[in-house]
Amino acid sequence: MKTIEVKTGRPYNIYIEHGIIKNAGKFVRDVSKAVRAVIISDSNVAPIYADIVENSLKENGFETSMFVFEAGEERKRLATIAKMYEHFFEHSITRTDIIVALGGGVTGDMAGFAAASYLRGIDFVQIPTSLLSQVDSSVGGKTGVDLPTGKNLVGAFWQPNVVLIDPDTLDTLPQKFFNDGMGEVIKYGCIRSKSLFERLERENAKDIIDDIIYECISIKRDVVENDERDTGERAILNFGHTFGHALEKLHNYSGITHGEAVAVGALTLTKITEEKNITANGVSEKISTLLKKYNMPTETEFSLTDIVKATKGDKKSSGKSLNFIFIRDIGECFINKIENDKIPEFFGIG
Ligand code: MG
């Protein structure tokens, strides 16, 4: 078993082990004296894993209940959170009880937000079952929901009590969703780890998935410990995301996954910074080759003008400027602030 300690305001451990899901109740019991545990999951994940987790929770003395919502980003709304609150009330959930998020990013973000806000905050546990959530979204304490006008616009910082990662759950993950996670994995290589990037080039990601998960989370842990509230260094995790979010918006949030959008966003941006000699020669070619190796998109039907226009209103904008993350070389990144009125000029669009 691999263990990663996260020293945020409320510290917690992340455990990575094959089959850990079967013993989830024991790990939850180690961090909680709760009487009741609510499993929150979606209609894709619940039929496969909910019983396993529920049985383990019962064996460890928890009274359990389950809240299952229909799978899909479209459900990541306040209306679903309101239904969770009703469930908590009906099942007499108190401040000392615990929420167990079992599923991908949407499940973790929503269960975390419900936990952060119900009774002004109750404990919660993350059991991420998708690659995206295992390498990225289950760690760092960002929780929230989408608004009709944009993704993740309402939320809270709320750290889990423990994160349990079972790489075996990836065996049931459709290829499209594996790729979704690979977009973030490649991002981690680009911003902080040349060695990870080179291993992805040399080997097959699925063969070294435990190491990949460990490495990505370790990078995220280091960044989050330095900047839990996202006021500085944490911005580097956003490499590829400013254009990525713009692409997701242009696609009306369907047909392209978050990770795919981040991948194309990172490549599109790096081609430009390479032309401007901000990035070393040949870096965008390396990223492009790696994306192709993992069957990720490298091009978009949208023009640079469309993409740049769609970055308007990005939630990472602060005042009159927008932070872009550039890479100098694989594994080396920096934050570059551009004034809003200079953005078209920087990207050479009219
Ligand atoms: Mg992301």
Please give the distance, rounded to the nearest whole angstrom, from the Cα atom of residue 18 to the centre of ligand 1: 24
Cα 189 to Cα 59, 102, 108, 214, 234, distances in angstroms: 40, 27, 24, 13, 16
> What are 270's two structure tokens?
């790096």
Query: Mean pLDDT over residues 74-94, rounded?
Result: 97
Q: How far apart are CA 282 and CA 229, in angstroms?
A: 35
When pLDDT is cut at 50, 70 and 90, the band that residue 224 belongs to is very high
Q: Is the pLDDT of residue 208 over 80?
A: yes
Q: How far apart are CA 237 and CA 231, in angstroms?
A: 12
> What are 34's two structure tokens?
């709760």
Q: Which amino acid is at 350?
A: G
Q: Is the pLDDT of residue 318 over 90?
A: no
Please give the distance, rounded to the nearest whole angstrom, from the Cα atom of residue 133 to the centre of ligand 1: 9
Query: Mean pLDDT over residues 96-117, rounded?
Result: 98
Please give the distance, rounded to the nearest whole angstrom, from the Cα atom of residue 184 to the centre of ligand 1: 6
Q: Is the pLDDT of residue 299 over 80?
A: yes
| Bridging pattern class, strands 123-128 and 162-165 | parallel
Q: pLDDT at position 120, please?
A: 97
Q: pLDDT at position 316, please?
A: 72
Lowest mean pLDDT among 50-54, 75-79, 128-132, 175-179: 175-179
pLDDT-above-90 percentage for the chain: 90
Please give the distance, rounded to the nearest whole angstrom, from the Cα atom of residue 266 to the centre of ligand 1: 12
Q: pLDDT at position 253, please?
A: 83
Q: How far apart are CA 286 and CA 291, in angstroms?
A: 9
Return the DSSP state at 59. Answer: H
When pLDDT is cut at 50, 70 and 90, the band that residue 150 belongs to is confident
Higher pLDDT, 31 or 177: 31
Of 171, 166, 138, the C-alpha closest to 56 is: 166
Query: Mean pLDDT over residues 156-161, rounded?
Result: 97
When pLDDT is cut at 50, 70 and 90, the band that residue 96 belongs to is very high
Lowest mean pLDDT among 196-200, 214-218, 340-344: 340-344
Summary mean pLDDT of the chain: 95
Please give the distance, rounded to the nearest whole angstrom, from the Cα atom of residue 244 to the centre of ligand 1: 9
Please give the distance, rounded to the nearest whole angstrom, from the Cα atom of residue 36 to the centre of ligand 1: 32
User: What interhelical angle do 105-117 and 78-90 show, nearest 10?
Assistant: 60
Residue 210, Cβ density class (10 Å: 0-12 exposed, 13-18 middle, ≥19 buried): middle
pLDDT in tens, 248-287: 999 988 889 999 999 999 999 999 999 999 999 999 999 9
Please give the distance, rounded to the nearest whole angstrom, from the Cα atom of residue 150 to the centre of ligand 1: 14
For residues 154 and 280, the answer to whether their CB atoms sit within 8 Å is no
Q: pLDDT at position 319, please?
A: 78
Please give the distance, rounded to the nearest whole angstrom, from the Cα atom of residue 258 to the centre of ligand 1: 7
Residue 326's DSSP bridge partners are 334
Query: Mean pLDDT over residues 327-333, rounded?
Result: 98
When pLDDT is cut at 50, 70 and 90, the band that residue 143 belongs to is very high
Q: pLDDT at position 18, please?
A: 97
Please give the distance, rounded to the nearest whole angstrom, from the Cα atom of residue 320 to the centre of ligand 1: 23
Please give the distance, rounded to the nearest whole angstrom, from the Cα atom of residue 217 to the centre of ligand 1: 13
Q: pLDDT at position 317, please?
A: 72
Q: How far apart are CA 331 and CA 275, in angstroms?
A: 19
Helix H or strand E segment including 200: helix 194-202
Query: Mean pLDDT over residues 37-64, rounded?
Result: 98
Please give the distance, rounded to the nearest whole angstrom, from the Cα atom of residue 148 to the centre of ligand 1: 19
Phi, psi at residue 280, to the nearest 5°? -60, 150
